[in-house]
A and B are shown apart, each in its own frame.
Chain A
Amino acid sequence: MIIAEWKPLPELVEILKGHTNVLVVGCATCVAECAAGGEREVETLAPLLQMALKQEGRTINVRTSTLERQCEWEFVEELAKVAPQVDAIVSLACGIGIQAVAERFPELAVYPGVNTTALAIRQEPGTWLARCAACGDCVLGETFGFCPVARCAKSLSNGPCGGTRKNGKCEIDENIDCVWYQIYERAKARGKVEQLLKVRKPKNWSNSGHGGPKRVVREDLRP
């Protein structure tokens, strides 16, 4: 899923200068799962925002709404009724959802309430870890199911840098496993270490954002 984190409240208060009717809109999919922009977070943020604004002597009418999925036009359409009554929207969806709302309601100021940070999974309650960087050239089949692009701090292709710590953690963060350590351990357990001996050529990054904004066309699905 896509994970995101709240922007600092003062940043939002600053952003809302001059607005009087604000809609805080969440998304019940990824950002709900990572506790950043689901219904619960929307209903938590709205009164906090109102309170913070009040302290600054500003009164703003804050409404809330949480869509099933902010990245699908059908669901975004649900905001059409309330949109005419507000002058700004703060979206707690990922960057995709925020843009969908901004595109559907071009007459309104649409602000991000979160920073979208990664494609990740919940590791344990309250902890999420990056899993994929959408590199467009997936190597998971050769790396025993561990992504070296998103999970190695240097996106190395040919094994661990010299920085793996004694306990198998990454040199840049003692709380994160060195993914190449994990890949090696898995390869060993599977009796397939020789699979890691091949010198892997430079990656082709062009099928991801490095090739320009990604556009996928499926003729069979086009109208």
Chain B
Amino acid sequence: MMKAGTRLEKTLRAGQFALTVEVGPPRGPNPEDVLRKAQQLKGVADGYNVTDNQTAVVRMSSIAGARLLLDAGCEPIMQMTCRDRNRIALQSDLLGAWALGMRNCLCLSGDHQKAGASGKLKGHPGSKNVFDVDSIQLISILKGMRDEGVLESGDPISQPTPFFIGAVWTPLAPPEEFRVLRLAKKIEAGADFIQTQAVFDIKRFATAVKAAADRGLTDRAAILVGIIVPKSARMLEYMNANVPGVEVPEALIKRMAAAKDQRQEGYQITVELIQAARNIPGLKGVHLQAIESEEVLPEIIRAAGLLPRPQV
């Protein structure tokens, strides 16, 4: 039985290798910024993640960004974090988002507000966080609202809110043995699909997926591998050293450094990563990100042989 009937859900149901991309809302109120990205990306993916004040930087809300995408013909995956809202606000926003047409929701704990102060940005490190519930509890709240038509309190809502529920997985962060168990908890709580932290080490990732498959998890939820388009050797080095759970093999960094045109090499690496990931048993799709340069995605997706997207 369909849970929310989204394009992503139908694609996975049909046994097709799914593809989602990420669209960061702008640091400002101009809808054109979202619509421009929608025009660039329309038709190339089965779902478009709209981040929720990612890295604790204030941006257009994920609900508004998601609605703009929807109107432009791109089915959004609205992200929702637990950092800024308690269970009252989260549930209220879920009702509102559903009313506005959102049907995919990805649940995260969210980056700490300290992360917002970086580079030239001051951010809001002095703000108060909420974390009333965590990502797993948010998943179960969505499940309760969808399957039983009740709020976290048990109070009924006038009609259920069928969302296709997503969660994230960082398989290579320590404690590594626990990561698959935490994935199991997310699926137990109600996650239908999983997008992973960026993967560059396909071998290690395949081992983690195998561990998930051995527990039956790849049958219970659809895992999409996260892939970030690398722009330079420096970026790879930076992510390897500083982004928790991101492991970049030395050889890949060297290859990038040796490339004449690092950008082009980055596209090539992305295509190879996607192709390698397709061979991992149990893996159901890819979640592709090109941070602040979404326009490069269609070409990469085409090169990876993932266009046109299946009609479902």
Q: Is the CB of B87 closer than 8 A to any CB of chain A?
A: yes
Whole-angstrom distance from the CB of A47 to the nearest CB of chain B?
A: 33
Residues of A within 8 A of B134 (CB): 154-158
Interface segment, one of A92-100, A159-167, A213-221: A159-167
Q: A160-B175, A162-B168, A181-B175 are in contact. Are A199 and B112 (CB under 8 A)?
A: no
Q: Is the CB of B238 closer than 8 A to any CB of chain A?
A: no
CA distance A131 to B178 in the complex (A): 24
Q: Is the CB of B184 closer than 8 A to any CB of chain A?
A: yes
Residues of B within 8 A of A165 (CB): 174, 244
Cβ–Cβ contact A171 & B112, under 8 A: yes
CA distance A156 to B11 in the complex (A): 33
Whole-angstrom distance from the CB of A207 to the nearest CB of chain B?
A: 14
Which A128-170 residues have a C-beta within 8 angstroms of B?
Answer: 153-166, 168
Choose from B83, B140, B141 the contact partner of A154 (Cβ within 8 Å): B83
Residues of A within 8 A of B4 (CB): none
Count A/B pairs, Cβ under 8 Å.
Answer: 100
Whole-angstrom distance from the CB of B87 to the nearest CB of chain A?
A: 6
Q: Is the CB of B248 closer than 8 A to any CB of chain A?
A: no
Cβ–Cβ contact B131 & A156, under 8 A: yes
CA distance A145 to B87 in the complex (A): 27
Residues of B within 8 A of A156 (CB): 109, 131, 134-135
Whole-angstrom distance from the CB of A144 to the nearest CB of chain B?
A: 13
Q: Is the CB of A172 closer than 8 A to any CB of chain B?
A: yes
CA distance A35 to B289 in the complex (A): 49
Q: A155-B131, A184-B175, A205-B132 are in contact. Are A162 and B170 (CB under 8 A)?
A: yes
Residues of A within 8 A of B132 (CB): 202-203, 205
Count the A residues whose beta carbon is within 8 Å of the partner chain — how many?
Answer: 30
Cβ–Cβ contact B244 & A163, under 8 A: yes
Q: A166-B174, A184-B178, A193-B181 are in contact. Are A199 and B129 (CB under 8 A)?
A: no
Choose from B168, B175, B181 the contact partner of A164 (Cβ within 8 Å): B175
Which B99-120 residues have a C-beta within 8 angstroms of A?
Answer: 109-112, 114-115
Residues of A within 8 A of B112 (CB): 153-154, 163, 171-172
Which residue of chain A lies nearest to B82 when distances are taken between CB atoms in the complex? A154
Whole-angstrom distance from the CB of B304 to the nearest CB of chain A?
A: 25
Q: A154-B112, A172-B112 are in contact. Are A202 and B175 (CB under 8 A)?
A: no
Cβ–Cβ contact A196 & B178, under 8 A: yes
Residues of B within 8 A of A168 (CB): 174-175
CA distance A200 to B138 in the complex (A): 11
Whole-angstrom distance from the CB of A82 to the nearest CB of chain B?
A: 38
Cβ–Cβ contact B173 & A163, under 8 A: yes
CA distance A171 to B112 in the complex (A): 9
Q: Is the CB of A72 closer than 8 A to any CB of chain B?
A: no
Cβ–Cβ contact A202 & B244, under 8 A: no
CA distance A108 to B224 in the complex (A): 65
Cβ–Cβ contact A162 & B115, under 8 A: no
Q: A163-B173, A181-B174 are in contact. Are A157 and B244 (CB under 8 A)?
A: no
Q: Is the CB of A80 closer than 8 A to any CB of chain B?
A: no
Cβ–Cβ contact A185 & B110, under 8 A: no
CA distance A201 to B133 in the complex (A): 8
CA distance A203 to B197 in the complex (A): 27
Which A167-223 residues have a C-beta within 8 angstroms of B?
Answer: 168, 171-172, 181, 184-185, 188, 193, 196-197, 199-203, 205
**15 other contacts beyond A155-B131, A159-B185, A197-B184, with CB at 8 A cut-off?**
A156-B131, A158-B135, A158-B185, A164-B244, A164-B245, A165-B174, A166-B244, A171-B112, A172-B115, A199-B137, A199-B140, A200-B137, A201-B137, A202-B87, A205-B132
B interface residues, Cβ below 8 angstroms from A: 82-83, 87, 109-112, 114-115, 129, 131-137, 140-141, 152, 168-170, 173-175, 177-178, 181-182, 184-185, 188-189, 197, 244-245
A interface residues, Cβ below 8 angstroms from B: 153-166, 168, 171-172, 181, 184-185, 188, 193, 196-197, 199-203, 205
17 sampled A-B residue pairs with Cβ under 8 A: A154-B129, A154-B131, A157-B136, A158-B136, A158-B137, A158-B185, A160-B175, A162-B173, A168-B175, A171-B115, A171-B244, A172-B112, A184-B178, A188-B175, A193-B181, A199-B136, A203-B132
In the A-B complex, the 6 residue pairs with the smallest Cβ-Cβ separation, listed nearest first, are: A162-B170, A158-B136, A156-B134, A159-B182, A184-B175, A202-B133
